[in-house]
Amino acid sequence: MAALSMIVFSGDYDRSMAAFTIANGAAGEGDKVSMFFTFWGLALLRAGNGPGPGGLQSLFKLMLPIGPDRLRLSRLNFLGLGPIMLRRLLGRKGGRDLSALIGMAIERGVNFVACRASMELLGLSREELLPAAHLRVGDVHEFLRAAKEADICLFI
Amino acid sequence: MAALSMIVFSGDYDRSMAAFTIANGAAGEGDKVSMFFTFWGLALLRAGNGPGPGGLQSLFKLMLPIGPDRLRLSRLNFLGLGPIMLRRLLGRKGGRDLSALIGMAIERGVNFVACRASMELLGLSREELLPAAHLRVGDVHEFLRAAKEADICLFI
Amino acid sequence: MAALSMIVFSGDYDRSMAAFTIANGAAGEGDKVSMFFTFWGLALLRAGNGPGPGGLQSLFKLMLPIGPDRLRLSRLNFLGLGPIMLRRLLGRKGGRDLSALIGMAIERGVNFVACRASMELLGLSREELLPAAHLRVGDVHEFLRAAKEADICLFI
């Protein structure tokens, strides 16, 4: 059994699909997988919207998408049309979209860690994130602990 | 002898140059190098254009550049002028452009793997990719096999 | 004691913050940390401006920001307003901005290596970079040496 660690930073739809495809592939091989979500990557874990923290924080929070279906492509985004077309194409080809890939990762026991510093910066509370049992809040040392144990570590 | 594994995701001219510079440096030291091309990274391996798959697929395929000389810069692209200026500057300085770096990687026996799922999504066939002997088509498990053996693994 | 190696490629304000947060966290745990700055990442190390090299080189050099406070965000940049708002928010929350994170990395003995090929391409001299004792100029083999020793290696 190997171990894999990832930092999900970008929050782009396509890069996140790559992250979860790798995570699910490894978890399917029986590997231990840990994903650390920071900055824009926190968008993937948002399940709802709590009260605005006010001021500048509210502005950043407002700009952070809620959940995977609102993410943009890293290119060919076309003001949001790109991800919609990609999801449609995935549907026709029998592929999984990002939302389904995240669900699969939860089923396969992939560990999610939400970056505490990013959450505080944006004014996000734990209640606004996915209710997944495998999701907890942690700091950079939590990431480093998983990364040092890992055979593969990726920044995405 | 060490082993190095890379995922070439972005398909940006500059990021791809960094990927191949590292790959060639390691291969030159006698290391075993494997590069997995997925999503926009497949553009680097395109050598020609087959028939359009039709519909939405054709649209994405149409937008994916054919070969390294059509790639954009991750910044200062200036509608395509940036990469042209960069290539000209490289020429004057005696540096290698991306196309030359790819040729060197092939000569040095770097293994190329094209992501099967991305190819199917875009409607790309093996015949449309480089005829290199070291290029084959594989899935995420092929990547994981190389990555688990690797001393260095990078997502680019 | 573990070892950590990073390639700082992007030169985005937010991605660079993530890089230095990880570097400082690891150095704080007593790990050996090495950061290799290439392409746009060299902007972080610029401390001043030497004479323009002339021609195309001058153009690229002109476009490369001088120091961390001029970097853009990878998204929500809003023509430079995004980083200013982020720094203000960090100030209010008692967080460290990128400039402070770089200072902390220098204090903690993180090794900086500036990519020689990128410097030559842009016409940057050593004198235009930070006067830090832990900063030296090196090539891809210097990166590979650190990366092969490292337990964690990230491309950022």
What confidence tens digit (pLDDT) does each residue in A15-66 have?
999 999 999 999 999 999 999 999 999 999 999 888 888 888 888 888 899 9
Non-local (6+) Cβ contacts of B59 within 8 A are A85
Phi and psi dihedrals of A18, rounded to 5? Answer: -60, -45
Is the pLDDT at A107 greater than 90? The verdict is: yes
Distance from CA of C115 to the nearest CA of B (A): 11
> What average pLDDT does the structure give for chain C?
93
- Nearest Cα neighbor of A22 from B39, B135, B27, C121 is B39
Strongest mean pLDDT among B17-21, C48-52, C78-82: B17-21
Q: How far is CA A93 from the centre of its chain?
A: 23
The CA distance from C147 to the nearest CA of chain B, in Å, is: 7
Residue C23 has pLDDT above 90, yes or no: yes
pLDDT of residue C112: 98
How many Cβ contacts (< 8 angstroms) between chains B and C? 61
CB-closest option in C2, C22, C154 to A140: C22
Q: How far is C134 from chain A (nearest CA, A)?
A: 23
Contacts of residue B144 in chain A, CB cutoff 8 Å? 22, 25-26, 29, 31, 152
Q: Which among A2, A18, A95 has CB closest to B121?
A: A95
Residue C80: partners with Cβ closer than 8 Å, 6 or more residues away = C72
Is B132 at the interface with chain C, CB within 8 A?
Answer: no
State whether B140 and A92 contact (CB < 8 Å): no
Q: Smallest Cα–Cα separation from C86: which of C27, C7, C9, C15? A: C15
Average pLDDT over residues B30-45: 97
Chain B residue nearest residue A4, CA to CA: B148
Contact A38 C22 (CB under 8 A): no
Name the CA dihedral angle for B22, C128, B74, C120, rounded to a multiple of 10 degrees: -50
Instruction: Enter the tokens of residue A150.
Output: 């890992």
Helix (H, G, I), strand (E, B) or coil at C35: strand
Whether the pLDDT of residue B150 is over 90: the answer is yes
Return the pLDDT at A109: 97
By Cβ distance, the residue of B39, B121, B140 closest to A22 is B140
Q: In which band, very low, low, confident or very high, does the pLDDT at C104 lie, cut at 50, 70 and 90?
A: very high
Q: Provide mean pLDDT across the span B38-49.
A: 94
Q: Looking at this protein, which amino acid is placed at residue C103?
A: G
Please tell me which chains touch B, using 3 or more CB pairs under 8 Å as the contact test: A, C
The answer to whether B60 contacts A152, with C-beta atoms less than 8 Å apart, is no
Instruction: Judge whether residue C78 has pLDDT over 80.
Output: no
Is the distance from CB of C38 to CB of C102 less than 8 angstroms?
A: no
Nearest residue of A to residue B149, measured between CA atoms: A151
Q: Picking from A133-142, B20-29, B140-149, C87-96, which range would have the lowest pLDDT averaged per residue? A: C87-96
- Candidate from B12-21, B59-68, C20-29 with smallest mean pLDDT: B59-68
In a 10 Å sphere around its CB, with 0-12 CB exposed, 13-18 middle and 19+ buried, how is residue B63 labelled?
A: middle
Residues 43-82 of chain A whose Cβ lies under 8 A from any Cβ of chain B: 74-76
pLDDT of residue C48: 86
- CA-to-CA separations, A116 to A31, A126, A130, in angstroms, rounded: 25, 10, 15
H or E element that contains C14: helix C13-28
> Please, are residues A130 and A47 in contact by the beta-carbon 8 Å criterion?
yes
Q: What is the mean pLDDT of chain A?
A: 93
Q: Identify the band that residue C77 occupies on the pLDDT scale cut at 50, 70 and 90.
A: confident
pLDDT of residue B36: 98
Evaluate if residue C60 carries a pLDDT over 90: no
pLDDT at C59: 82
| pLDDT recorded at residue C94 | 86
User: What number is the average pLDDT over the span B118-141?
Assistant: 93
- pLDDT confidence bin for B96, thresholds 50/70/90: very high
Q: What is the pLDDT of residue A156?
A: 98
The CA distance from B56 to the nearest CA of chain A, in Å, is: 7
Q: Which residue of B has its CA nearest to C5?
A: B152
pLDDT grade for B93, boundaries at 50, 70 and 90 = confident
> pLDDT band at residue B48, thresholds of 50, 70 and 90?
confident
Find the CB nearest C59 among B85, B92, B154.
B85
Determine the 3-state secondary structure of C131 from DSSP. Answer: coil
Give B-chain residues touching A18 at CB under 8 angstroms. Answer: 7, 9, 38-39, 155
Q: Kindly determine whether residue C74 and residue A10, on different chains, have CB atoms separated by under 8 Å.
A: yes
Convert the pLDDT of each residue in A127-145 to its tens digit: 999 998 889 999 999 999 9
Tell me the nearest-neighbour CA distance from B155 into chain C, angstroms.
6
Query: pTM (2 decimals)?
Result: 0.95
Mean pLDDT of C27-49: 96
**Cβ neighbours for C48, distance < 8 A, ≥ 6 positions apart:** C66, C127, C128
Q: Which of A2-6, A68-72, A103-107, A147-151 has the lowest mean pLDDT?
A: A68-72
Contact state of C85 with A56 under an 8 Å Cβ cutoff = yes
**In angstroms, how far is CA C71 from the centroid of its own chain?**
10
Q: Do B59 and A85 touch (CB under 8 A)?
A: yes
Banded model confidence at residue C93, pLDDT cuts 50, 70, 90 = confident
Which residues in chain C are contacts of A147 at CB distance < 8 A?
Answer: 151-152
- Is residue A14 very low, low, confident or very high in pLDDT (cuts 50, 70, 90)? very high
Contact C154 A63 (CB under 8 A): no
pLDDT (0 to 100) of residue C57: 84
Instruction: Give me the residues paired with residue A85 across strands.
Output: none
Decide if C153 and A153 are in contact by the 8 Å CB cutoff: yes
How far B91 CA sits from the closest chain A CA (Å)?
A: 28
C135-138: strand order across its sheet: C135-138, C111-115, C32-37, C3-8, C152-155
Q: Which helix (H) or strand (E) holds B155?
A: strand B152-155
- Quick check: C4 pLDDT over 90? yes
Query: When comparing pLDDT for B144 and A92, which is higher?
Result: B144
pLDDT at B53 over 90: no
In chain A, residues with a C-beta closer than 8 Å to the C-beta of C150 are none
Of the ranges A104-118, C24-38, C121-135, which one carries the lowest mean pLDDT score?
A: C121-135
Using only the alpha carbons of chain A, give its radius of gyration: 15
| The token pair that represents A39 in the structure block | 């900055």
- Give the residue-averaged pLDDT of A90-116: 95
Q: Average pLDDT in the A94-107 region?
A: 95
| CA torsion angle B19 C15 C41 B10 (round to 10) | 30
**pLDDT at position C156:** 98
User: Percent of chain B scored above 90 by pLDDT?
Assistant: 72
Cβ contact, residue pair A60, C85, below 8 Å:
yes
The three-state DSSP-derived secondary structure of chain A is CCEEEEEECCCCHHHHHHHHHHHHHHHHCCCEEEEEECHHHHHHHECCCCCCCCHHHHHHHHHCCCCHHHCCCCCCCHHHHHHHHHHHHHHHHCCCCHHHHHHHHHHCCCEEEEEHHHHHHHCCCHHHECCCCCEEEECHHHHHHHHHHCCEEEEC
Q: Distance between CA atoms of B154 and B4, rounded to whole angstroms?
A: 8
Query: Do A154 and B7 touch, CB atoms closer than 8 A?
Result: yes
Nearest to C56 among B17, B31, B88 (CB): B88
| Residues C121-131: tens digit of each pLDDT | 989 999 999 99
